Structure 1
Amino acid sequence: MSGRERSSERRILVYSALLTLGFAVSGIVLGNWVGSMVIIFDGAYSLISLALTLLSLLAATLMARPNSKRFPNGLAALEPIVIAIKGAVILGLVCISLYSAIHSVIDGGREIDTSIATLFGLINVIGCAIGWTMLAKKNKDIDSGLIAAEVKQWQMDTLISVAVLLGFVAAWIMLQTSLSPYATYADPVMMLLMAGYFIKVPAVMLKEAISELLYMSANKASREEIEAES
């Protein structure tokens, strides 16, 4: 990757970090206000995404440095390491949320303000979709693994937001009918469905990153063996 592409990569990661910060703060604050674990999860996911984006930004900065005697082949291995960390952390968050949702269903569900939650869900869907499409479009010219991981994060966040919005609309409709006693289960059931479905995304990220690291290690071992024989 050229110096110009590295510079573009860092700018895109900064943009992603700022956008993520806005969603993280608003999600956690509003989620606690309306009592929705799904919105809190969305905000917590965004907050973790922010920390991981900053990690990607640091990795991109280090990878842009020229090769040295200590690292004659550069710091290319940082990319799969960062992606592996992202996958592991997001996988952990999904598993914790899955446990919380099961516990909430057993306890009888949660009451939430569906009108405010639905409005937030709509705004979230639009914002996340913009972030996802913009990063995906910009990465076509750069083809960065770090930005590709960011795109996956935004894709996951967009789909989460869509699921949240549909769930809150369904909960609001239930409140207008004879099914209103069951509306309290909407929030934890949404969380169960989302966690069960989206657990695949970070798992695949982690698997691919580990495979790449193992491939790099095998290549390094082969080179060292050849050098020792020569």
Structure 2
Amino acid sequence: MCARTSLNEKRILTFSALLASGFAGGGLVLGLLVGSLVIVFDGVYSLVSLLLTLLSLAASRYIQRPSKSLFPFGKAILEPVVIAIKGLVILLVVSYSLYSAIIAMFNGGREVDASIATLFGVVNVIGCGYAWWYIANKSKRFSSGLIAAEATQWKMDTLLSVAVTLGFISAWLVSVSPFAEYAVYADPMMMILMSFYFIKVPFDMLREALRELLMMSPSDEICHAVDKEVSALEQQVSQKLNVVGVAKVGRELRVRLDVHSKGNQVEVAEVERTRRILKDKLSKLSLDLNLTMNIAS
């Protein structure tokens, strides 16, 4: 990763951490004051987001430091490790919140001041929506799994805030209707409905991170790009190239090729030329290429 991208990654993660700290404090305090399970979950989620963002920031800084003795093959593996931790922690938070909401439903619901909760929800929607938009745009410009995971976190927080706001508006409408006695079930019911959606997002984060840690095949887009460029490269060089394996680990693209000479021997200069051309062609993927070329008999 270039120095400019690394610097921007740190700035974005720092911005995210500062914003998450504000939402975490506000959500926890207000949620406890008005007795809302959903707002407390929003505050807890923001607090977890803050801690996970600090973890991402620490990992980003550590990855840039040279440490050949501890990581002789580079630190790219640390990125999916951090993302896997984030996915697992968020999954646990959502699962516990779902459990609490189900218990609340069986215990007669929870009464909440819908007016204050709705105002809090509107402020959260604006703040989280801005953070999601800002970080998602930066993620498109800078190839970083940590920034992409951060954008996913804020996307979840924004959708959570929208659901909370709409839910409390609905709860207020129910409270002034002939069905006012059922308004106490609005808060836990919102939490249950949101949990079923939110469980999928961290699960996907965890699954993709584990795929990278296990060195499984990356997306079809990446595999197709590698196959296409290697096939085109064969027309420019005097060797036959076979793609043996492709894996994405963090911001690193690992490609292994078998090189078969079309003549009696393989020229070292020609191998280096092949390496240089392929690295240039695959630069459009915005990943650091780790290319292994084996001379096959």
**TM-score category (smaller protein):** over 0.9
- SS for the counterpart of 2:214 is helix
Q: Would you say the 8 A contact 1:105–1:185 is kept in 2?
A: yes
Compare CA radii of gyration and give the structure with the larger one.
Answer: 2
Structure whose residues are more often strand by fraction: 2
Where does residue 165 of structure 1 map in the other structure? Answer: 165
Write out aligned runs for 1:2-151 (5 A): 2-151=2-151
In structure 2, how many angstroms separate the alpha carbons of the residues matched to 1:133 and 1:64?
Answer: 27
Structure 2 alignment gaps of length 5 or more: 217-244, 250-255, 257-292
CA–CA distance in 2 between the matches of 1:7 and 1:71? 22
* CA distance in 2 between partners of 1:82 and 1:148 (Å): 12
Secondary structure of the equivalent of 1:215? coil
What is the CA-CA distance between 1:4 and the residue it aligns to? Answer: 1.4
- Alpha-carbon separation, structure 1, partners of 2:72 and 2:4: 21
Residue 66 (structure 1) shift: 2.9
Residue number in structure 1 paired with 2:265 = none
CA distance in 2, matches of 1:138, 1:204: 21
How far apart are the structure 2 equivalents of 1:73 and 1:3? 20
Give the residue type in structure 2 aligned to 1:183: A
Number of residue pairs the alignment of both structures matches: 223
Shift of 1:69: 3.4
CA distance in 2, matches of 1:105, 1:118: 21
1:169-184 matches, within 5 Å, as: 169-184=169-184
What is the rounded CA distance, in whole Å, between the counterparts of 1:56 and 1:21 in structure 2? 15
Report which structure shows greater RCO (CA 8 Å, sep ≥6): 1
CA RMSD of aligned residues (A): 1.9
Shift in Å at residue 113 of structure 1?
Answer: 0.4
Instruction: Tell me the TM-score normalized by structure 1.
Output: 0.93
Work out the CA distance in 2 between the residues paired with 1:93 and 1:69.
36
Pairwise CA distance, 1:198: 1.0
Unaligned runs of 5+ in 1: none
Aligned to 2:285: none
Measured after TM superposition, the shift of residue 197 of structure 1 is 1.3
